[in-house]
């Protein structure tokens, strides 16, 4: 018998729509998908939450603070403004019935919030926490991570991760997203995009990553506040091996739509992934030559819908994230839990 989860969404914006889609899609991909009861959607704006609930099948709506008085929830999705993630998480973990929390990045928006999360993480608890780093579930990334962890590539030497957009070069787009012009650490390219790049680097290289130097720019674009981070470049070190590398997060890279790149170079070989070729990764090993690994949408052991040669995409990885969050088979998956979210935030 399939598991049954009573869920709440805290947030009713664009990313919440993507999560509503992923929940709907679960049953098409996974024979053991749980039953999901959409109990309530919470948002500060009544009109937004009412429209969202009506369109996506939530039974009720309420203000965010009213969620914690309910006794009919098993899981919550924290999908609101960045500043709300930590306070809402800390309320969720005190709730008597909520056992699963899905948190969109970033997990914290200040050093004080991060300290509160670290204090909670140091305690014994029975909550299942999962971060919204869905790129970790892309089929080529899953296979590349297992390949890298095999040891065949030796000790890390240097690395590069980039997540590039061009969206904020468009004046109309900037005008529609003025709320996302807040300064670090509340928002900006490093928070919005760089967190995904850092999540991948942390999964592949471990928790020894540290930032040695970083700089950000607003691109000197007219009308953009001086403190806005539209592009960040960080010089990083993996302290265990001494490997060095860079992380670039940009909202103003002309020619880039939604491009994520990962390069890892070791003493015995290298691994490359680029969403420009979203269904494969490349590897090189000493004494050999470059090899292309075609992976497509292979999410074994759980699902091949519609087939394992169908191209994979952003939403497909998000669906698998939901499957894992709601208790699905974790084989072959890196689960970005609370400790991972905290490390990326650090």
Closest C-alpha among 39, 43, 98, 38 to residue 68:
98
Say what the pTM is.
0.92
Contact (Cβ atoms closer than 8 angstroms) between residue 334 and residue 136: yes
Under DSSP, the state recorded for 290 is -
Cα 35 to Cα 31, 32, 62, 143, 245: the distances in Å are 11, 9, 23, 29, 44
What is the Cα 76 distance to its own chain's centre?
Answer: 16
In this prediction, residues 45-53 reach a mean pLDDT of 97
| Structure tokens belonging to residue 123 | 């305690």
Long-range contacts of 302-306, Cβ-Cβ distance < 8 Å, separation of 24 or more:
302/29, 302/30, 302/32, 302/328, 302/329, 302/331, 303/29, 303/30, 305/28, 305/29
Instruction: Express each pLDDT in 258-272 by its tens digit.
Output: 999 999 999 999 999
First to last CA, the chain: 41
Calculate ∠ Cα 160-164-165, nearest 5°.
175
Model confidence at 186, pLDDT cuts 50, 70, 90, reads confident
Cα–Cα distance, 302 to 316 (Å, whole number): 13
* Environment class of 215 (CB within 10 Å of its CB; exposed 0-12, middle 13-18, buried 19+): exposed
**Matching residue, tokens 């992934």:** 273
In this prediction, residues 220-225 reach a mean pLDDT of 91
Contact (Cβ atoms closer than 8 angstroms) between residue 67 and residue 43: no
In this prediction, residues 176-189 reach a mean pLDDT of 88
Determine what percent of the chain is predicted with pLDDT higher than 90: 86
Residue 311: predicted pLDDT:
67
In this prediction, residues 101-111 reach a mean pLDDT of 95
Q: How many CB atoms lie within 10 A of CB 153?
A: 22
What is the Cα 51 distance to its own chain's centre?
Answer: 26
State yes or no: cis peptide before 185, omega within 30 of 0.
yes
In this prediction, residues 19-35 reach a mean pLDDT of 93
Instruction: Express each pLDDT in 247-305 by its tens digit.
Output: 999 999 999 989 999 999 999 999 999 999 999 999 999 888 999 999 988 887 666 77
Query: Interhelix angle for 111-121 vs 338-345, to 10°?
Result: 150
Contact (Cβ atoms closer than 8 angstroms) between residue 333 and residue 324: yes
Average of per-residue pLDDT values in the chain: 94
> For residue 1, is pLDDT > 50?
no
Residue 299: predicted pLDDT:
80
Residue 224: predicted pLDDT:
93
In this prediction, residues 106-117 reach a mean pLDDT of 95
Determine what percent of the chain is predicted with pLDDT higher than 70: 97
Instruction: Express each pLDDT in 94-104 by its tens digit.
Output: 999 999 999 99
Cα–Cα distance, 197 to 165 (Å, whole number): 13
* DSSP-assigned beta bridge partners for residue 6: 37
């Amino acid at each position: 018998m399939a598991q049954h989860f009573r869920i709440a969404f805290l947030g009713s914006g664009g990313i919440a729509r993507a999560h509503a889609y992923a929940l709907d899609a679960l049953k098409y991909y996974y024979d053991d998908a749980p039953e999901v009861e959409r109990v309530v959607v919470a948002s500060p704006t009544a009109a937004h939450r009412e429209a969202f609930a009506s369109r996506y099948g939530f039974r009720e709506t309420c203000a965010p603070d009213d969620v914690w008085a309910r006794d009919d929830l098993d899981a919550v999705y924290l999908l609101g403004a960045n500043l709300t993630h930590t306070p809402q998480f800390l309320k969720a973990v005190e709730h008597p019935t909520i056992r699963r929390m899905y948190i969109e990045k970033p997990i914290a928006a200040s050093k004080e919030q991060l300290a509160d999360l670290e204090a909670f993480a140091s305690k014994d608890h029975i909550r299942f926490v999962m971060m919204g780093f869905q790129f970790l579930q892309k089929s080529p990334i899953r296979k590349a991570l297992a390949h890298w962890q095999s040891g065949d590539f030796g000790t890390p030497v240097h690395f590069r991760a980039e997540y590039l957009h061009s969206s904020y070069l468009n004046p109309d787009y900037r005008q529609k997203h003025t709320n996302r012009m807040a300064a670090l650490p509340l928002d900006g390219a490093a928070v919005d995009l760089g967190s995904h790049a850092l999540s991948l680097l942390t999964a592949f290289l471990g928790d020894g990553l540290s930032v040695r130097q970083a700089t950000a720019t607003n691109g000197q674009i007219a009308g953009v506040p001086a403190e806005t981070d539209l592009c960040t470049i960080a010089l990083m070190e993996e302290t265990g091996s001494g490997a060095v590398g860079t992380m670039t997060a940009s909202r103003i890279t002309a020619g880039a739509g939604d491009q994520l790149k990962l390069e890892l170079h070791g003493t015995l070989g290298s691994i490359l992934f680029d969403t420009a070729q979203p269904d494969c990764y490349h590897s090189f090993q000493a004494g050999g030559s470059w090899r292309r690994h075609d992976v497509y949408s292979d999410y074994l052991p759980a699902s091949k819908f519609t087939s394992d040669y169908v191209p994979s995409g952003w939403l497909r990885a998000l669906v698998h994230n939901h499957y894992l969050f709601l208790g699905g088979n974790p084989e072959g998956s890196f689960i970005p839990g609370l400790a991972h979210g905290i490390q990326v935030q650090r």
